Amino acid sequence: MSSSHYFSVSPDSPFERRRLQVELEGRPVTVSTAGGIFSPEGVDKGTAVLLKHVPDPAPTGHLLDIGCGWGPIALTMAMRSPKATVWAVDVNERSRTLCAENAAALGLENVQVMAPEEVPSAVRFDTIWSNPPIRVGKKVLHELLELWLPRLAEDTEAWMVVQKNLGADSLLTWIRSMLASVGEDFSADRPETDKGFRLLRVRRSAGLG
């Protein structure tokens, strides 16, 4: 599937739901997927690497999944932190529909599924997780990360998974440069590599005051 397909607002393909059994948080769950979204066949390798290595998200507050697709990251965040609000954002309206349906089917009432522009601008995030859409091109990807990463709250982290051969290291260099222009309280590194994927971590330190 082309990146423009799953990153479009309204996919051209028919909206035909399919039911899949996947494993989230060590247990089998049944979810709905469809064509025209990212990884409709199940949990993709990159997301699996992310979920394997990330520390637990903040137990309360606001958590963010950038590019939620049918919801594996957002659903996992909601399971691990039932007292937090999970914001699942995606430009693809079909992805949003499926993510919301899957959250409801699993009884996860703490998931808010929205288009990016619908998230209140005042919200700051206590954890961000993402398998970002690398194949959309640098310009769109950079705009996406410039929008969300500076919205980390103080003393919090963002975690992203990027395939090594799709420019993970150059993306990390760009993230460091971008965040340096935002403020001195940001840092970024790559603490894990697994199965050809890099885990990138962005930290925002606590304020001095």
The DSSP string of 138-154 is HHHHHHHHHHHGGGEEE
Is residue 31 in a domain?
no
The β-bridge relationship of strands 62-66 and 125-130 is parallel
pTM exceeds 0.85: yes
Is residue 15 in a domain?
no
Show the domain range for 58: 43-204
Is residue 199 in a domain?
yes
Q: What is the pLDDT of residue 42?
A: 96
Is residue 36 in a domain?
no
CA pair distance 169, 3, nearest whole angstrom: 21
Task: Give the CATH number, domain containing residue 135.
Answer: 3.40.50.150
Is residue 71 in a domain?
yes
Instruction: Return phi, psi of residue 29, to 5°.
Output: -135, 155
Q: Sorting pLDDT into bands at 50, 70 and 90, what band is 3?
A: very low
CA pair distance 191, 208, nearest whole angstrom: 26
Q: What is the pLDDT of residue 184?
A: 86
Is residue 158 in a domain?
yes
Model confidence over 12-58: pLDDT tens digits? 678 999 999 999 999 999 999 999 999 999 999 999 999 999 999 99
In the chain, the number of structural domains is: 1
CA pair distance 4, 137, nearest whole angstrom: 10
Is residue 23 in a domain?
no
Q: What is the pLDDT of residue 10?
A: 64
Is residue 12 in a domain?
no
The sign one gets for the Cα dihedral 195, 57, 177, 191 is: negative
Model confidence over 129-188: pLDDT tens digits? 999 998 888 999 999 999 999 999 999 999 999 999 999 999 999 999 999 999 889 999
Burial track 164-183 (b if 16+ CB lie within 10 A, e otherwise): eeebbeebbebbeebbeeee
